[in-house]
Amino acid sequence: MSATSSDNIPGMETNNHYQKPDVQKEQENAKKEFEKTKKELEKIKNFITKKYKFVQAISVLPPQSIKFFIEEEEAPKESEKFVHLNLIIPDEKAKEAPKIQKEIVKELEKSKEKVWLHIRPVSEIWEICMDQKFELSSAISMSFPLFDKGILGGLRVAEIHKSLVLQKFEKYVVSYVMGGSIVRGDTVKTSDVDVFVIINDTDVKRMPRLELKERLRGIIYKYVMEASSLAGVQNKLEPQIYLLTEFWDAVKDAHPVMFTFIRDGVPIYDRGTFMPWKSLLRMGKLKPSPEAIEMFMSMGDEVIPRSKRTLMSDVFTNVFWGVTTPAQAMVMLNGGAPPNAKKELVKEFKKDFYETKMIEKKYVDFLEKVVNTWRDYEHEKIKEIKGVEIDSFLKGTEEFIKRLKELRIQIEKRFNEKTIDQIHKDTFELLKSIVGKMPQEKTIESFEKDFVKKGKFSPQDLRILKNIVSARQEFKKGKSNSQKIDIARKDAEILMNDLVEYSQRCDLASLEKGRMRLKTKDKVIEILNCDGKTFLFESGKVKKITTKVEDSSMEEVEKSIDNQKSKQVVEVDPKVFDLIKKEIGKFEILI
């Protein structure tokens, strides 16, 4: 089947003629290969599903993929000719895997068929994806199902859809990521399968981005029905399409939806983009924008009037999210990744603020009470709640939100202090390597007189330097604010880039003084004189020449280069050239 002309997008190179993944044919071949063992496999399946009712899926791995699993799991080479049975179990049963395997293997030994058993919890499949071992995750997705509660079907329809999208837009697909119920581990045969497709639009110039997104959405959505038909499942695929530029803007602003997507999503295809985002989020490097913080905080402000107008269920919902969401915002503002509200929030909140003496214990206790009450409510341990208890929760929430607003000011003040001190320190450390070590005022005077007025740096650099000093002084006096600190931070990046570039130019100029090219009869050889040594580079090897010629290394070269940076003069012993002549023969110096 070929794509129609309406599928083509101006400015994007697509594979207009492609072969659909012949999944049905592949499955037919697999069926024939183990048709004679089908009855035995059916017995094994019945034994497993009857004894272990918690099993999520049982399937036969594709023969062509067995080598990957043998290499990954260090299975015997002879097992490559076996039928490989893949068993997926819930994470909470992972500790029982050795016992389960022993009992199933005992049952398998009753059969004459050669079957190799793989048991893995759901989380291990996601770990395979996180490690970008997509050939393994693809094989699991496309394995022949003997039994499935829904996870295998969800994986299969996503894998087929991904293949169709890649065949059309492989050059432009940045990441294809799964999320929602299938990743949480509570999917069933009728569950929606949430996937996110991120398309690189940075080199598409002949079409407005809004129009481009709509065209992409139309084409990619067209493949949904095709993938569902090929997969033969009831799971409905729900793709979300993002352009890389709009997605990156949302990530930079720490949009809550993107936080959740990056935190919980699992890639089944990634070109080195999604996993770095995930790592940055885990390290707390994706900072929320002021707008995002305001949005989180506003949920707390609205909880009181909203709760008074709702029934018990709404009160619990409003109180829980109205308390936990601002608490999450404070952890994020403090530099941490957004913790799970039901599992990690209390622990992280306590560690960040109570253990550092930034907040009183009663607020940690209240947060814990809200989370525990919500958990009891979800598990239906609480059937009703008295009005006086609701009033107590609402009053506690009001006090909690008020205290968090004060905490926000504390966090921002501490962060601003750390930021402006670091900016000041980094800037003057760089200046010290250029103008020399001297007091702050003398440093500024020297920078202006010897570098700005002589055209080595721009007047803008001097203005930024003075603004950094002024912003720090104002902060110490309590006259600054977050906006001024942020302006100083952005301006400082410009100045520090200029300082680093100038320093590197000076270092390069110093090194060029000691660099020479020697021409022999049949080749050109490079030598480098620095730190009182001469290094000879020939045929991928490094030799050091002092009073003799001996082997060296790039580590020694780099160390000598660092030492040379503090010296103005390159010293070369004339006797070195006699030793070079003995080493490489007659030569002439190229100018």
Verify that 145 and 155 share a domain, yes or no. no
Strand, helix or coil at 519?
Answer: strand
pLDDT at 302: 64
Verify that 272 and 320 share a domain, yes or no. no
Low-confidence ranges of the chain (pLDDT < 50): 1-6, 17-20, 309
Verify that 83 and 114 share a domain, yes or no. yes
Specify if 20 maps to a domain: no
Q: Which of the listed residues 122, 149, 176 is the one where a domain comes to its end?
A: 149
Specify if 27 maps to a domain: no
CA dihedral 315, 318, 319, 321 (to 10 degrees): 150
How many structural domains is the chain composed of? 4
Verify that 393 and 244 share a domain, yes or no. no
Verify that 303 and 439 share a domain, yes or no. yes
Segments forming the whole domain that contains residue 258: 1-13+150-284
Verify that 306 and 437 share a domain, yes or no. yes
Q: Which helix (H) or strand (E) holds 269?
A: strand 266-270
Specify if 375 maps to a domain: yes
Verify that 505 and 520 share a domain, yes or no. no
| Chain-centre distance for alpha carbon 285 | 10
Verify that 279 and 298 share a domain, yes or no. no
- Among all chains, which residue has been given the structure tokens 């007189």? 449
Task: Confirm if 198 and 44 have CB atoms less than 8 A apart.
Answer: no
pLDDT at 3: 39
Q: Which residues contact 23 (CB under 8 A, 6 or more apart)?
A: 142, 160, 230, 231
Give dist(CA 479, CA 481) in Å, integer: 7
Query: What's the token pair of residue 470?
Result: 């002024």
CATH number, position 184: 3.30.460.10
Verify that 425 and 557 share a domain, yes or no. no
Separation in Å, CA 351 to CA 239, 331, 334, 355, 505? 38, 10, 11, 5, 46
Separation in Å, CA 395 to CA 297, 323, 499? 17, 12, 54
| Chain-centre distance for alpha carbon 227 | 28
Q: What does the pLDDT look like over 376-408, one tens digit per residue?
A: 887 778 777 777 888 888 899 999 999 999 999
Q: Which of the listed residues 266, 284, 302 is the one where a domain comes to its end?
A: 284
Q: What pairing do the DSSP bridges indicate for beta strands 192-199 and 236-243?
A: parallel
Separation in Å, CA 146 to CA 39, 60, 190, 229? 12, 7, 18, 19
Give dist(CA 465, CA 492) in Å, integer: 8
Verify that 486 and 519 share a domain, yes or no. no
DSSP category for residue 289:
P
pLDDT at 219: 85
Specify if 390 maps to a domain: yes
Query: What's the token pair of residue 257?
Result: 């939806």
Specify if 19 maps to a domain: no
Specify if 29 maps to a domain: no
Verify that 386 and 493 share a domain, yes or no. yes
Give dist(CA 470, CA 49) in Å, integer: 72
Task: Confirm if 162 and 269 have CB atoms less than 8 A apart.
Answer: yes
Q: Which of the listed residues 239, 269, 284 is the one where a domain comes to its end?
A: 284
Verify that 296 and 366 share a domain, yes or no. yes
Specify if 454 maps to a domain: yes
Specify if 209 maps to a domain: yes
